[in-house]
Copies of this chain bind each other. A is one copy, B any other.
Amino acid sequence: MAYFDAASSAPLHPVARQALQASLDEGWADPARLYREGRRARMLLDAAREAAAEAVGCRPDELVFTSSGTRAVHTGIAGALAGRRRAGRHLIVSAVEHSSVLHAAQVHEAEGGTATRVAVDRRGAVRARAYAEALRPGTALACLQSANHEVGTVQPVAEVASVCREAGVPLLVDAAQSLGWGPVEGGWSLLTASAHKWGGPSGVGLLVVRKGVRFAPQGPADERESGRAAGFENIPAIVAAAASLRAVRTEAAQEAVRLRELTDRIRARVAEGVGDVEVVGDPERRLPGIVTFSCLYVDGETLLHELDRAGFSVSSGSSCTSSTLTPSHVLKAMGVLSEGNVRVSLPLGTVEEDVDRFLRVLPGAVAAVRDKLGAPTPSTVVREDELVVDARGKLCPIPVIELAKVIGDVPVGGTVRVLADDEAARLDIPAWCEMRGQEYVGEEPADQGVAYLVRRSA
């Protein structure tokens, strides 16, 4: 069995387990109390805060522990927006942030604020200039992830921080995917992270607010954690989080080289071994352990089942594996293929043999899914100048499969009109055209759906 979904949640690091067990006896009392058990709990909490602050590169009194990374993001954004209310109510986020950031932006808009979503390039990266263009007099806060959680692309945080600083706007960095690898560089103002992403326990997030940043915690008052994280402190888990952060940092440099070699291998080999694959994300500026690719004519959920049966746990941004029936907002913002999407994120210590076995299993698994769905084989019979494919009522990847089946049936210069009502088609038909060198003409409203027009170029 191989678990390749560390970007969702990493297995508990041995140091986290030891620290958790050791502090269960000392860390259960209320650290606000003055008696012996309370003082011991307070000492553990203070020591954990110092260790975490050192790893982040901030002062201990700038860092509070929250109950999750999501909670750190929600609290950080709400508090920073409220603290800068006088400056204005404009928020900037990238289009590929974690859903916790995007949902906080939606709440802000619902409450009368405005939000700009900064676009990314096809590799998933923002440009600092795009943030500079989005900044305006009423901007209260900007948010940018340190690295993307779905494709691993590293963002130009230091440049964006510098652009924001010039405008006097604080930048909140969601460092959930990268903090285990190293501190976030640049002049950021707020930072959030999540312990279970680096091998710490569930139930611990970090929220850092630099001194001098205006911050007004929202919600009911609570004295704990400087008024920034309501509720009784989970000290054993906090101790385990801090201890494991230090531990993974000591392994980080070596593991980064090793995992990068393994993900490079996957990047190279899926392209040749599987065929009709788009490897997405920046090939250079990326996290060491993440590689993401999408397979044409493949239903992501079925592929994940095939891989799970073969002993591999991976995730997917395909619409067919989500409860919302829409493709991942990250893949959508990048404009890349979403069907048959697979994210491989290797935990620390992943062994080479597991990766090689994955690469041996993958082509067969993809082929099996394609067979099942009746993926196209080339056709040579040219019949008409325009063909209509009715894929309404059919879900991803069927509309693309239907398109691919008939494109050879029209002459070069002829068009295929694909009728579809699945939201994923809007992303995947243009992506297919780009991969296949066909011309995507555009879309038109159609009866109960959308018509996507594709001109055969070759």
Contact residues of A with B, CB < 8 Å?
A: 1, 3, 5, 8-12, 17, 20-21, 24-25, 27-30, 33-38, 67-71, 74, 99-100, 103-104, 106-107, 194, 196, 201-203, 205, 219-223, 230-237, 301, 304-305, 307-308, 312-315, 321, 323
Distance (Å) between the CB of A108 and the closest chain B CB? 9
Q: How far is the CA of A308 from the CA of B103 in the complex (A)?
A: 47
Q: How far is the CA of A208 from the CA of B421 in the complex (A)?
A: 39
Copies of this subunit: 2
Q: What are 10 A-B contacts defined by CB distance under 8 Å?
A: A3-B35, A9-B232, A27-B202, A34-B305, A67-B68, A70-B232, A201-B236, A202-B236, A223-B323, A237-B237
Q: Which one of B106, B230, B308 contacts A68 once the chains associate, using CB atoms below 8 Å?
A: B230
Distance (Å) between the CB of A189 and the closest chain B CB? 20
Cβ contact within 8 Å between A9 and B30: yes
Distance (Å) between the CB of A52 and the closest chain B CB? 17
Q: Report B-chain residues with C-beta under 8 Å of the C-beta of A71.
A: 67, 230-231
Q: How far is the CA of A305 from the CA of B39 in the complex (A)?
A: 12
Distance (Å) between the CB of A202 and the closest chain B CB? 4
Cβ contact within 8 Å between B315 and A33: yes
Q: How far is the CA of A231 from the CA of B231 in the complex (A)?
A: 15
Apart from the given pairs A35-B314, A100-B220, 16 other A-B contacts in the complex at a CB distance below 8 Å: A3-B35, A5-B30, A12-B28, A27-B202, A29-B313, A35-B312, A67-B68, A67-B71, A70-B232, A103-B222, A106-B221, A194-B232, A202-B232, A202-B234, A203-B234, A234-B234
The answer to whether A35 and B103 touch (CB under 8 A), given A196-B232, A202-B28, A231-B71, is no
Cβ contact within 8 Å between B222 and A100: yes
Cβ contact within 8 Å between A35 and B308: yes
Distance (Å) between the CB of A101 and the closest chain B CB? 9
Closest to A108 in B: B220
Nearest 4 CB-CB pairings of A with B: A68-B231, A67-B67, A203-B234, A35-B313
Distance (Å) between the CB of A29 and the closest chain B CB? 5
Q: How far is the CA of A69 from the CA of B29 in the complex (A)?
A: 15
Q: Report B-chain residues with C-beta under 8 Å of the C-beta of A223.
A: 323
Cβ contact within 8 Å between B196 and A28: yes
Distance (Å) between the CB of A24 and the closest chain B CB? 6
Closest to A31 in B: B9
Q: Which one of B67, B104, B194, B230 contacts A203 once the chains associate, using CB atoms below 8 Å?
A: B67
Closest to A34 in B: B304
Closest to A197 in B: B232
Cβ contact within 8 Å between B220 and A38: no
Cβ contact within 8 Å between A34 and B308: yes
Distance (Å) between the CB of A41 and the closest chain B CB? 8
Q: How far is the CA of A299 from the CA of B422 in the complex (A)?
A: 71
Closest to A314 in B: B35
Q: Which one of B99, B107, B203, B304 contacts A237 once the chains associate, using CB atoms below 8 Å?
A: B203
Distance (Å) between the CB of A410 and the closest chain B CB? 38
Q: Report B-chain residues with C-beta under 8 Å of the C-beta of A17.
A: 24
Q: Report B-chain residues with C-beta under 8 Å of the C-beta of A106.
A: 220-221
Distance (Å) between the CB of A341 and the closest chain B CB? 14
Q: How far is the CA of A69 from the CA of B224 in the complex (A)?
A: 13
Cβ contact within 8 Å between B5 and A28: no
Q: Report B-chain residues with C-beta under 8 Å of the C-beta of A20.
A: 24
Q: How far is the CA of A321 from the CA of B33 in the complex (A)?
A: 9
The answer to whether A301 and B34 touch (CB under 8 A), given A9-B29, A220-B107, is yes
Cβ contact within 8 Å between B67 and A231: yes
Cβ contact within 8 Å between B3 and A37: yes
Distance (Å) between the CB of A21 and the closest chain B CB? 7
Q: Report B-chain residues with C-beta under 8 Å of the C-beta of A69.
A: 231-232
Distance (Å) between the CB of A215 and the closest chain B CB? 17
Q: Report B-chain residues with C-beta under 8 Å of the C-beta of A304.
A: 34-35
Q: Which one of B5, B36, B70, B231 contacts A308 once the chains associate, using CB atoms below 8 Å?
A: B36
Distance (Å) between the CB of A393 and the closest chain B CB? 24
Closest to A321 in B: B34
Q: Which one of B5, B220, B301 contacts A103 once the chains associate, using CB atoms below 8 Å?
A: B220
